[in-house]
Every structure is written in C-alpha cells, then in structure tokens.
Homo-oligomer: A and B are copies of this chain.
Amino acid sequence: MKLGRLNHVGVATPSIERSVERYRSLFGAEPHGSAFDLPEQGVKVCFVDAPNMQVELIEPLGPESPIARFLEKNPEGGQHHVCFEVDDIAAARRWFEEKGARILGPTRIGAHGTPIFFLHPKDIGGVLTEIMESPKAAH
C-alpha cells in the first residue's frame, strides 16, 4: 500500500461557530458548506478549505461523544487526527490487518460519504489516523 493524499486534519473544538470565525478572521479561510451532524459518531463537523486539504472542525454532540473526553483534557480544543486517502478501503483494511495494525471498529461511512476506518494511534507513533476511500468524483 502507498500513502495517499492527506484529505484533512481533524481538529476538536468546543465550538465550531467560534472556530470558523477564527479561521475566517485570522486566515481568510471559509467553511466548505455548513456544519452537519454525524450522530452515529457523536459529533458535529464542519470543513474549512485550505488550497490542498481541509481542516475538519469537530464538536461533541453530547457528553458521551469521544470528542467530549478529548476536550476534557484539551479544553480549548486541539489536533485530534489526520486522514489519508486510499483507492480501495477494503484492500486497505486487509493490508493493515495483515501488518498487525490495530483497527478501531468497523469500516463505516465518514463525513465525506465514503467508507472510512481509524487506525489505533499506538501503532502509528501516537497519531490517530483515519483511512478514507477517495471520493470517486475526485478521480
């Protein structure tokens, strides 16, 4: 397998609204559409565009959200994960399984509408890493 493009950096925030305003005023960066809920992942997300990737702002949907626990340790928010693209999510999953890398939960549909899974940070130098099938329109 070959590392694909970085799709986004995931950034946890207590308030997407305040973070969007910060990115707009400091960086002249605009959100890519409105924030939307991913209830099965317990988060609300909003993408902000940079020229070659996006920042995914992630806000907890409730106290049970995994992001709520992250924000307990990092009340102002912070870097949560990185997401790299692959051509074929099933082939990528088999690859990482064969390598003995731990995968967190089942393959599921991510914020971009394509299948994703997460690799355990302990197998990648402490970096929580999302693997995402490239959107077909991008090819």
Interface residues of chain A, those whose CB is within 8 Å of chain B, are 1-6, 9, 11-13, 18-19, 22-23, 25-29, 49-53, 57, 74, 76-79, 82, 84, 96, 99, 101, 121-127
Q: How far is the CA of A79 from the CA of B23 in the complex (A)?
A: 20
Contact at A23–B3, with CB atoms within 8 Å?
Answer: yes
Query: Contacts A52-B52, A78-B125, A78-B126 hold; do A29 and B3 have CB atoms under 8 A apart?
Result: yes
Q: How far is the CA of A25 from the CA of B18 in the complex (A)?
A: 40
Specify which of B11, B18, B101, B123 is in contact with A127 (CB 8 Å cutoff): B11
Contact at B125–A50, with CB atoms within 8 Å?
Answer: no
Query: Contacts A26-B99, A53-B52, A53-B53 hold; do A121 and B6 have CB atoms under 8 A apart?
Result: no
Contact at A29–B50, with CB atoms within 8 Å?
Answer: no
Contact at B76–A26, with CB atoms within 8 Å?
Answer: no
* Chain B residues with CB below 8 A from A51, complex form: 3-5
* Chain B residues with CB below 8 A from A121, complex form: 76, 78
